[in-house]
A and B are shown apart, each in its own frame.
Chain A
Amino acid sequence: MRKWLSVGRAALLFVLVLLFVAPPLASGQTAGLNRLQNEDPNNWPMYHRSYDSFRFSPLSQINKDTVKNLTVAWVHQPGAIVQGLEATPLVVDGVMYYIASYNRVFALDAATGKELWHFYPKLDPVVNTLFFQPYNRGLGIGNGRVYFGSLDGRVFALDQKTGKVAWEKQILETKKCSCNFTGAPLVVKDKVIIGQTAGELPIQGKIFALMAANGEKAWEFNTIKNDPKSWGGDSGKFGGGGGWMTGSYDPALNLVYWGTANPAPDYDWGGARPGDNLYTSSMLALDADNGQLKWYFQEIPHDDWDYDAGLGESLVLDRDGKKLLVHQNKSGFVFVYDRTNGKIHNVWPMIHTYNFVKTIDPKTGELIGRNPPREVGKPKFICPWIAGGRSWNSGSYNPKTKLWYNTAMEVCEEVTVEKQTPQTEPAAGLFFGGDQVAKHPPGGEAYGHLDARDPVTGERKWSINFKYPPIGSVLSTGGGLVIHGDLEGTVHAYDADTGEQLWHFRTGSGHRGGPISYSVNGKQYIAVPSGLGSLVLGLYPALWPEVEDFPAGAAIFVFTLK
């Protein structure tokens, strides 16, 4: 593309970019690893940008002083708005890659938005019968290829330059299991790691590693432990689990950290699945090379509430000489581990509205005073709601401010447990074991908030409240900004130190995806996926009827300085 550039001019340009756009790597980041991590500040090469899952861009051209001069550089629309736009785009060397509903994949010139190629897979009609469809949260990139898991249970590798299929593999029996892939893969060395949906289905969910070169299966990890003590009777056959979102990776330990989903049925009427139900609602540390389990911690033993551990980011964080892992469980509690062995370092609540337990022991992680909905047919008031203290969207950790910018939801529900027989023929049917309706917390209105907190202690520096609990991911930058889009369709830029709003822009539809920042030819951009859609959104109108009519949409808005 830039053949006219001499080697010397290219080198000079690279140096200038480093000098004026990219600040030195901040403390807490890992230097000297391959370019898929933090080495190139101009790129956003994986779902959480870096293996440590910080979702932090070190770029600083757009900062507290200049953000007022942001303007729209370009907009791209995928042409499919069903369930909005849930993805986080990727950018590598001036090209943006993103995936939209129905697995539409695009490669765009990241400076202009001009399409370089697109790929629309022919999906099996079985997709139209599934619960988890037609959204997708993101792509993986590595070894010259773009990877994604499809709605009909395949994994694709596309040529990064042309979008042509390099290989595709049918990994799941989607017609039988009603399961699929909706999360972004994680590329680790020569492997593509991806987990499946399963938590609401009477099946056994797994995490897979495929060889990046040809898609051959390298290893798989069954999140349903083959142990009659953990799964009484034949309940393990229908145990659900899986790992539907994207994990983290520590190259020094060669461990992949992957959270697992809830057991099925979601609600247990008493005896549905006797035991602790390993390894559902757990954090796993797996050897990246062979998938062997190095350690695990079950955040919610015998999960009675659908508070799975499969969502959000797992921060690979070093502090005071300790190797930590910070992970928010769907229950709203944040688990801080010693990531070398899985021992609990701390547990703290991101929310203040909860009654599913009295508390969780910050030293051991034990659930104290469990309050499960068990009585069949009798509604029970539970906090937080099934959408969680936070949904699957991710927060962002800024190693300069040492703050974690993260969203939370203060919402309750009324759960009615119903006995249910698992359906596996002709295909797996949903296996919830009850249903629920959203409720306001006692003595107040439900709401959501964006907090700046210490990720290890939970100490809060600032907080912003939202009437409608936000479900979009967060970006923080080296320019001292926090970028976040709300449910009503406005993207905000906040001062990372104070929470003061410095800029905002109305994109026209709510936010569910992940904003990113990148740089092309010395110019910094902020890309914001806009487009409301999500299964959890269906829970909102019970409390806020107007949300029923909030418009869907799908567009990537890209901003830069005037």
Chain B
Amino acid sequence: MRVVVVLALVATAVVGLPVKGVVRAQGMRQPSAAVSKPPFPLDNPEAIAEGAKRFSASCTGYCHGREGRVSRAPKLRGKVYDPNFLYARISNGLLVGQSGLPMPAFQTMLQPEEIWKIVAYIMSLSNAKDD
């Protein structure tokens, strides 16, 4: 490793190559989710409706299936989840999920309240059945 770093520094000094390019790495670090609590009851109908819209706009057909139906990513209908688990998973994403799929991390894209609305929507699917 020391050799790599030295070579990188030499290369940088001689021809101006960026050190970053020769650092070895595998994959990426996971961002951490900030601690958060739902700002509304998770059975709030308005929150669920807004969560449904946000869920629909965030890769449902390709990933979790429309309204949480079966897909390559886990089916969400008819399942009972811990809301804190859902919040953390939506925030942090997953490097390697089911069937070798990654799940994007949404914490930089969505405000905590928006993530909680998605959680509320997914929780509302616990009694839903496939068509």
Contacts and interface: CB of A to CB of B under 8 A. Distances in A.
A519 to B, nearest CB: 33
Contact of A542 (B17, B70, B98, B100): B70
B95 interface: yes
Interface string B22-40: 1111111111000000000
Contact count band on B:
35 or more
B62 interface: yes
Contacts of B41: none
Contacts of B100: 81-84, 532-533, 551-553
A416 B53 CA distance: 12
A128 B28 contact: yes
Contacts of B69: 437, 542
Contacts of B123: none
A356 interface: no
Interface in B90-129: 93, 95-96, 98-102, 104-106, 108-109
Interface in B73-105: 73, 75, 93, 95-96, 98-102, 104-105
Contact of A548 (B71, B105, B108): B71
A539 B104 contact: no
A181 B66 CA distance: 27
A430 B59 contact: yes
B131 to A, nearest CB: 9
Contact of A83 (B31, B56, B101, B106): B101
A106 to B, nearest CB: 13
B24 A120 contact: yes
B52 to A, nearest CB: 10
A200 B119 CA distance: 24
Interface stretch (A47-55, A130-138, A291-299, A462-470): A130-138
Given A429-B109, A435-B56, A548-B98, 5 more contacts: A437-B65, A437-B66, A538-B63, A538-B71, A542-B69
Interface of B: 11, 17-18, 20-31, 53, 56-63, 65-66, 69-73, 75, 93, 95-96, 98-102, 104-106, 108-109
29 contacts: A81-B100, A83-B102, A102-B28, A122-B23, A122-B24, A123-B28, A125-B31, A128-B93, A128-B95, A131-B59, A165-B21, A168-B20, A418-B56, A418-B57, A420-B57, A429-B57, A429-B109, A436-B66, A437-B61, A437-B66, A437-B69, A538-B72, A539-B61, A542-B70, A545-B70, A548-B72, A549-B99, A552-B101, A553-B100
